[in-house]
Amino acid sequence: MKLTDTAIRKAKPEAKPYKMADGNGMYLEVMPSGAKYWRLKYRHMGKEKRLALGVYPDVSLAEARDKRDAERKLIAKNIDPSAAKQAEKREKRIASANTFEAVAREWVENRSNDWTAAHKALTLRTLEQDAFPSLGNRPIAEISSSELLATIRTIEKRGALEIASRVLQRCSAVFRYAITTDRCKNNPAYKMSEALKSPKRAHYPTIEKGGFPQLLRDIDSYQGNPMTVYILQLMALTFTRTGELLGAEWSEIDLDRAEWLIPAERMKMRRPHLVPLSSQAVAVFREVAKFSSDRVHVFPNRNDPSKPASNAIILRALGRMGYTGKMTGHGFRSAASTMLNENKSKWGIHRDTIELQLAHVEKNASRAAYNFAEYLDERRTMMQQWADYLDKLKAGAEVLKLRA
């Protein structure tokens, strides 16, 4: 006798579970708690098995019968429905682990040892904001070139052409990683850059021709926080990246040896970098020590001394001195590179010495093998020549000739 909805609704729990048969192996199991489960009893390869078909009333009597009939068709084809469901669950788990977002996050973590914490955070933020919303939940092996291009076009429509190019580069790297780890077969980003709009290359603002000596004088006479003056003076003397200077820790600096060794984890290319300090730079650091030698950071954050000063401090000070749009922290590096190269013959400096001090990584693998102490004597001499040259510029003893 088959079940009815009325009979099922009236079924009351008992001290032990009991079954209410519906036919063709399906029955309703009523639990002492009152829960009612649909089950299918069947045999496969001589073994008796049971399969869950759902919970009543979420799965109605009619729906349970439809599920039973579908499963019996599989059984008739000698397919074990229980094993088929397990395989389906496995495939879903694998697909979930192989979404674009899952693979991208794995790629980011895999590259972490090669990147600074700031670059890792920036890379992840770029993907989270511009790639994951449209591609994140998609199985990475199913993403087509047209689908990826649509994502990039959305960014282009905002006018963010530089970001569109950057997102494409990072997506391409994720797909290459997925190919290597056997999660997909093709890279839909391949040669897609040819379809992108080319952004206008914006260069970091650098002081106008002939204006560097006045900038140096303006820095020395700046009426703001003394620590800001020291930061700007050291930017000119060491021409490191802004984050490298502002994140400096006293443990990295040996004033007696006149050396500053920046550890690999704080460098853009994850290689330690040695900065020989001129006598002028040592003098500035000794002044800074009067304010912060008891802190971890050379330039502690005013709001939270356990953290380094904010990058905004440099642009803010330059703006107050009237250099908004004319100079940035990176501009000190550009100016140093230009002037050192223009004076390299006069001062007897080799191009490699300049490039190494700028912490530029050569594309040529053999040249990239230099260690952080390479050309140390030459670099030490160059850094003192540079500091002396800046003193002359401030005094107006030399005319500065920068390329326009």
Question: How is residue 119 written in tokens?
Answer: 């670059």
Q: Of the listed 36, 68, 333, 379, which one is catalytic? A: 333
Give the number of other CB atoms < 10 A from CB of residue 56.
21
Q: Of the listed 49, 176, 360, 380, which one is catalytic? A: 360
- Among residues 383, 249, 232, 247, the alpha carbon closest in space to that of 318 is found at 232
190 catalytically annotated: no
> Using CA atoms, how far apart are residues 231 and 198, in angstroms rounded to an integer?
36
Q: Of the listed 49, 72, 217, 330, which one is catalytic? A: 330
197 catalytically annotated: no
Q: Of the listed 119, 370, 380, 394, which one is catalytic? A: 370
119 catalytically annotated: no
Question: How is residue 164 written in tokens?
Answer: 């569109």
73 catalytically annotated: no
Strand order across the 259-262 sheet: 253-254, 259-262, 273-276
Q: Of the listed 183, 241, 297, 379, which one is catalytic? A: 241
42 catalytically annotated: no
CA distances (Å), 187 to each of 13, 100, 103, 108, 170, in order? 58, 12, 13, 17, 12
Q: Is residue 74 classed as helix, strand or coil in its secondary structure?
A: helix
Question: How is residue 108 written in tokens?
Answer: 């980011």
Q: Is the dihedral of CA 275, 278, 280, 286 positive or negative?
A: positive
Q: Of the listed 120, 268, 320, 394, which one is catalytic? A: 268
Q: CB of 39 within 8 A of CB of 50?
A: yes
For residue 262, the surrounding DSSP H or E stretch is: strand 259-262
241 catalytically annotated: yes
Listed in sequence order, the DSSP H helices in 42-115 are 61-76, 81-97, 100-111
Q: CB of 237 within 8 A of CB of 390?
A: yes
For residue 395, the surrounding DSSP H or E stretch is: helix 376-395
Q: CB of 111 within 8 A of CB of 127?
A: no
> Using CA atoms, how far apart are residues 43 and 23, in angstroms rounded to an integer?
15
How many Å from the N-terminal Cα to the C-terminal Cα in the chain? 97
Catalytic (active-site) positions:
241, 268, 330, 333, 360, 370
